[in-house]
Amino acid sequence: LYYLSKHLALRGHECIVVTQAAHRRAKPTEQMDHLVVRNLRGNLLEARKWEYYTYPENERNHIVDELFSRDDIERNVEMLIPELGNVLKEFHPDIIHAHSTYVIFNRVLHRLRISHRTPPTVLTVHGLPKHLVLPGGEQTTDYGQLAQFAPFDIVLGVSKHVTRALTRWLGSQCRVELSYIGVDLQVFRRLRGIGKSWDIAFMGRLELEKGVDLIPSMLQLLSKEKQHNVSMVITGEGSFRNTLLGELERLNLDSTVEYLGVIPLEMVPEIINRSKVFIYPSRREPFGLSIVEAMACQTAVVSTNVFGPSEIITPGRDGIVVAPDSATELVDAVHSILGNPADRNKMGAEARRTVESRFDISRHTAQLLEIYEDIVRRYT
């Protein structure tokens, strides 16, 4: 949203981001360069959700009753309706563009739309269907919750796989279309004069879904093959962080890995540029924006042949894809790239061309503006 709102602003459009407060002490209004962020409190369900995810998976069952109550969703929605309503009165937006709201804001917007208090509304869905357990204990899916309350004039999927899944779940409720998201090519580019500090980079959520548990065995095998330690940088946060760092220490690999935690946005292109290979061994990836960012920087990418990455990468030309869960294939791919600088540079150049032709945020912004104009015309 940061880069999309920047490109909308460059075209003369004012944007405001409205979200649920992600922590209890969040300020009501925050300024991020060109962007104003309004944090709605509700009953702080979102903040409590993120507190829950800070616990290791094997400890989460013990704190559920302490953090959540059965009527959390209903209470949160009731409190957010006037909060969002006041923002809409203050800002008078021509359009609302929601992102991956499945349970809360779709209910809020549904209630506001009934009372004729919302402008045309777009939803972009960034994820594939996944299992949910609601505060009351109900077993469901995020797409199932979305299908119950879908007050949107159009729903956009970020990949073909996501778009097909949305069509199956929503049926004729909403118009569903594909809309690949893009990256800022002026920000994510090859930076001249920057040397390579690491052999490998991983930047993303430290969760099993992202395949980060493969990293220790990958590094161990690579070090044996190359007869010396392979250097790596890891950024991000997640419930698997402590387990990952502990395993690296147990295998005496921690001295070869630099863990930077959550880094500022402006540091991302530099970290990518300072790495020879960018890995993203995800088991389930709806799109893969981090992959596109690395490709735009002309850094060779190794990912998996699942969902989004399979739509982005042409294997052997602008990247390499391997089977998920295969540390051996991951090692072979990374070893091949590290051992062939000329092929690595050629792959990086092809990757940049792919992003320029298919994933430029300027093109994505223009497409969105056409969609906005179309639904505003239909609405009036």
263 lies in the same domain as 326: yes
Is 225 within the bounds of a domain? yes
Is 234 within the bounds of a domain? yes
39 lies in the same domain as 149: yes
304 lies in the same domain as 214: yes
88 DSSP 8-state letter: H
What length is written for the chain? 380
25 lies in the same domain as 132: yes
Is 43 within the bounds of a domain? yes
pTM, to two decimals: 0.91
Domain ranges, residue 329:
198-358
**How far, rounded to the nearest angstrom, does the alpha carbon of residue 230 sit from its chain's CA centroid?**
28
289 lies in the same domain as 168: no
Query: Residue 119 corresponds to which tokens in the numbers above?
Result: 């402008």
Residue type, 239: S
Residues 127, 132, 135, 136: what is their CA dihedral angle, to the nearest 10 degrees? 140
139 lies in the same domain as 176: yes
Mean pLDDT of 358-379: 94
Is 187 within the bounds of a domain? no
Domain count, the chain: 2
**pLDDT digits over 6-42, tens only?**
999 899 999 999 999 999 999 999 988 788 999 999 9
pLDDT computed for residue 273 by the predictor: 98
% of the chain beyond a pLDDT of 70: 99
In 132-202, alpha helices (H):
142-148, 160-170
80 lies in the same domain as 229: no
**pLDDT digits over 184-193, tens only?**
999 999 999 9
**Strand duo 131-133 + 198-203: pairing:** unpaired
pLDDT computed for residue 228 by the predictor: 65
pLDDT band with cut points at 50, 70 and 90 for residue 64: confident
Is 69 within the bounds of a domain? yes
Element (H or E) spanning 356, and its range? helix 341-358
Q: SS3 for 97?
A: strand
The Cα–Cα gap between 183 and 70 comes to: 40
pLDDT computed for residue 60 by the predictor: 84
Residue of 31 and 106 predicted with greater confidence: 106
271 lies in the same domain as 314: yes
134 lies in the same domain as 280: no
| Domain CATH for 328 | 3.40.50.2000
Residue closest to 93 by CA, chosen among 29, 200, 18: 18
Place of tokens 């070893």: 335
Is 189 within the bounds of a domain? no
| Residue 227: pLDDT over 60 | no
Q: SS3 for 362?
A: helix
Task: Give the chain's largest Cα–Cα span.
Answer: 68
pLDDT computed for residue 225 by the predictor: 75
Query: Residue 347 corresponds to which tokens in the numbers above?
Result: 């792959």
**Strand duo 154-157 + 198-203: pairing:** unpaired
Is 193 within the bounds of a domain? no
Contact 329, 305 (CB under 8 A): no
Is 192 within the bounds of a domain? no
Contact 18, 29 (CB under 8 A): no
| Residue 241: pLDDT over 70 | yes
77 lies in the same domain as 217: no
Judged on CB neighbours under 10 Å (0-12, 13-18, 19+), 336 is middle
101 lies in the same domain as 250: no
220 lies in the same domain as 338: yes
Contact 171, 144 (CB under 8 A): no
**pLDDT digits over 312-348, tens only?**
999 999 999 999 999 999 999 999 999 999 999 999 9
Residue closest to 304 by CA, chosen among 209, 236, 165: 209
pLDDT computed for residue 170 by the predictor: 95
